[in-house]
Amino acid sequence: MIEYYLWLLQLMGAANPKSRELIRRYGSPKAAYEAVYEGEGKKFLSPAETRRIRGASLENSRKILDLCEKERIRIVSLSDEDYPKNLLNIYNPPLLIFYKGDISCLNSDICISAVGAREMTEYTAKVTRRTSSDLSRLGVVMISGMAVGVDHTVHKAAVDAGGKTVGVLACGLLVDYPRGTAAFREEIYRTGGACISELLPTERPSKSYFCARNRIISGLGVGTIIFQAGMKSGALITADHAINQGRDLFCIPPADLFSANYCGVVGLLRDGAIPLFNYLDVVNYYFNDFTDQLEALNKKFKIAYDKPFVFREGGAEKNGADGKSAGEKTAERFDFTLREPEIKAIYDFLHENGTRQLEEITDGCGISPEDVSLFLIDMEIEGLIDSEPGGRYFIKE
């Protein structure tokens, strides 16, 4: 059957909704093939599609399959069980997905799409790295488009955090585009992610295809994050796809309301997009729908939701026969030398002084409030500390 899907892709081209119309009309790609060559099916083809009949053949399909086998490229079709389920309910899902790596995460894990500007500001870069890293550490699969700027930052943050990420290419899998990213794709595969494309393996990128590709990026996620978008940003096309597909749309509040770099984001927020201040906004939004997965990935969220909040004075209570708290035990295994020195300074301050407000930690450690907040999030994820309402932090019990 895969040969007939490949024939249809040769004939109709990628992202052509008429491909599925032919399958629906005749029942299968094989039946569509027979109808076209017997003549009856030709009446549904445009002049350009009719001209491509001579170049589309099952022989070419077999050559493509041989090339994919040689290059370790796998193919999944619309009728396969392991086809990404989130794509089945979008308009014009890809007939075929060519991929390298492991796409099982697209059906088994929580997927969030994230896109933004190619020329990002320093603020956007910082927020993108932090948010993508934090979500990846929780086991969320980050989906993006492998472009320079925000896309690459999303993928790199996920890989550096040891998480899974999936890149949706605007070219075939054997094309090095953006130039110089072929080696980085291998890093994505090593952490359990994948790169995918609906284009034939040797097909070059084209300007006309980028808009169509964005429907796959948004379609793979339960929600889409826009990190930065100007008035004519391609990220706005992805946002439109997400809205039309019934996906949730998150936007990072702009660094400057009057900057042209963020005017697209301002419009989306004004129209009802969900403001995203850090990764917890995503976690809280989907907690009820994905409780089991999130609990398995990070049990601290179940504790935070289920236990009553208790204000503490002094040091954290000790647990266990050895008199050590959970945070102290984690600290014994935690390699502080591999992380920012501020994390060790904050841990030592809380260990010595007990429960403290954020402002007290800032003053005691000599670190800016903005940076302290980010480091505290990291430390909570790692299981070193815990927090209470009102911005009070303590070594985890």
**Nearest-10 crossing angle of helices 150-160, 182-190:** 40
Q: Is the pLDDT of residue 306 over 60?
A: no
- The rounded mean pLDDT for the chain is 89
Q: pLDDT category, 315, cuts 50, 70, 90?
A: very low
d(CA 206, CA 308): 56
Q: pLDDT category, 293, cuts 50, 70, 90?
A: low
Each residue of 44-61: pLDDT tens digit?
Answer: 899 989 999 989 999 999
Given a contact cutoff of 8 angstroms between Cβ atoms, the answer to whether 124 and 94 are in contact is no
Q: Is the pLDDT of residue 320 over 60?
A: no
Q: Given this model, what pLDDT does residue 19 score?
A: 95
Q: Given this model, what pLDDT does residue 343 score?
A: 92
Q: Given this model, what pLDDT does residue 309 score?
A: 34
Looking at per-residue confidence, does 101 or 207 come out higher?
101
Secondary structure tally for the chain: helices H, strands E? 20, 12
DSSP string, 271-284: TTPEE-SSHHHHHH
- Could you say which architecture CATH assigns to the domain 308-395? Orthogonal Bundle (1.10)
Mean per-residue pLDDT, 194-200: 98
Q: What are the C-alpha distances in Å from 154 to residues 76, 106, 332, 396?
A: 25, 17, 31, 30
Task: Report the percentage of the chain scoring pLDDT > 90.
Answer: 68
Domain limits of the chain?
1-69, 101-286, 308-395
d(CA 21, CA 26): 9
Each residue of 343-369: pLDDT tens digit?
Answer: 999 999 999 999 998 888 999 999 988
Q: Is the pLDDT of residue 93 over 90?
A: yes
For residue 363, give both structure tokens: 């003053």
Mean per-residue pLDDT, 289-316: 48
Q: Is the pLDDT of residue 312 over 60?
A: no
Closest CA to 96 of 115, 82, 112, 110: 82
Taking domain 101-286, whether its CATH number is 3.40.50.450 is answered by: yes
Mean per-residue pLDDT, 198-221: 95
Bridge partners (DSSP) listed for residue 395: 385
Bridge partners (DSSP) listed for residue 166: 143, 194
Q: Given this model, what pLDDT does residue 295 score?
A: 61
Q: pLDDT category, 321, cuts 50, 70, 90?
A: low
For residue 94, give both structure tokens: 């890809």
Residue 97 half-sphere exposure toward CB, CA atoms < 13 A: 31
Closest CA to 30 of 77, 87, 74: 77
Q: pLDDT category, 208, cuts 50, 70, 90?
A: confident
Q: Is the pLDDT of residue 299 over 80?
A: no
Q: Is the pLDDT of residue 302 over 50?
A: no
Q: What are the C-alpha distances in Å from 109 to residues 88, 162, 304, 316?
A: 16, 15, 22, 35
Looking at per-residue confidence, does 361 or 288 come out higher?
361
Given a contact cutoff of 8 angstroms between Cβ atoms, the answer to whether 392 and 380 are in contact is no
For residue 122, give both structure tokens: 């320093």
Mean per-residue pLDDT, 289-314: 49
d(CA 92, CA 42): 21
For residue 297, give both structure tokens: 């990935």
Backbone angles phi, psi at 75, to 5 degrees: -130, 135
Q: Given this model, what pLDDT does residue 297 score?
A: 56
Given a contact cutoff of 8 angstroms between Cβ atoms, the answer to whether 117 and 41 are in contact is no
Q: Is the pLDDT of residue 300 over 50?
A: no
Given a contact cutoff of 8 angstroms between Cβ atoms, the answer to whether 195 and 99 are in contact is yes
**SS3 state of residue 334:** coil
Given a contact cutoff of 8 angstroms between Cβ atoms, the answer to whether 117 and 230 are in contact is yes
Sign of CA dihedral 235, 240, 243, 245: negative
**What's the maximum distance between 2 C-alpha atoms anywhere in the chain?**
84
Looking at per-residue confidence, does 377 or 376 come out higher?
376
Residue 36: what residue type? Answer: V
CA 23 to chain centre: 31
Q: Given this model, what pLDDT does residue 368 score?
A: 87
d(CA 274, CA 334): 35
**Whole-structure pTM value:** 0.76
Bridge partners (DSSP) listed for residue 144: 167
Q: Given this model, what pLDDT does residue 318 score?
A: 42
Each residue of 140-178: pLDDT tens digit?
Answer: 999 999 999 999 999 999 999 999 999 999 999 999 998
Each residue of 19-29: pLDDT tens digit?
Answer: 999 999 999 99
**SS3 state of residue 185:** helix
Q: pLDDT category, 313, cuts 50, 70, 90?
A: very low
